[in-house]
């Protein structure tokens, strides 16, 4: 069995996602969690800080209803997003057009890991 290294991120004791390598991964239902006005995804500020502290550089949100995967760098979320509080604590919202989206069946772009040979 393949073991996947990850660290759980919690807000007020509730699991909101996990850090896997350099990604903060969240699995959400768009019909319930995607903001409608303006259309976008919001991420809890404390969870974003925690994920970044653990080494995350990107946020990846999987819409469990459609299988679409939305990706944005934490830097982009902080620079292009805006802070909101709609009764769930401070969140940073990034409008939908600022996320990269991969739909089910689309090939995933692989990244080349460069390292120093011993």
88-116 pLDDT tens trace: 889 999 999 999 999 987 766 655 555 55
pLDDT tens readout for residues 14-30 = 999 999 999 999 999 99
Distances (CA, A) of 17 to 14, 109, 114: 9, 23, 27
Q: Enter the pTM of the model.
A: 0.84
Q: Which of 18-27, 47-56, 80-89 has the lowest mean pLDDT?
A: 80-89
Dihedral sign computed on CA atoms, order 37, 58, 70, 64: negative
pLDDT band at 4 (very low <50, low <70, confident <90, very high): low
Alpha-carbon torsion angle 111, 59, 98, 84, nearest 10: -170
């Amino acid at each position: 069995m393949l073991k996947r290294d990850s660290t759980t991120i919690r807000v007020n004791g509730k699991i909101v996602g996990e850090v896997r390598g350099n990604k903060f991964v969240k699995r959400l239902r768009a019909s319930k969690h995607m903001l409608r006005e303006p259309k976008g995804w919001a991420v809890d500020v404390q969870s974003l800080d925690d994920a970044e502290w653990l080494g995350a550089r990107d946020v990846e949100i999987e819409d469990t209803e459609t299988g679409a995967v939305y990706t944005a760098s934490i830097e982009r979320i902080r620079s292009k997003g805006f802070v909101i509080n709609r009764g769930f604590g401070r969140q940073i919202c990034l409008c939908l057009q600022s996320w990269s989206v991969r739909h089910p069946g689309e090939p995933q772009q692989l990244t080349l890991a460069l390292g120093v040979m011993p």
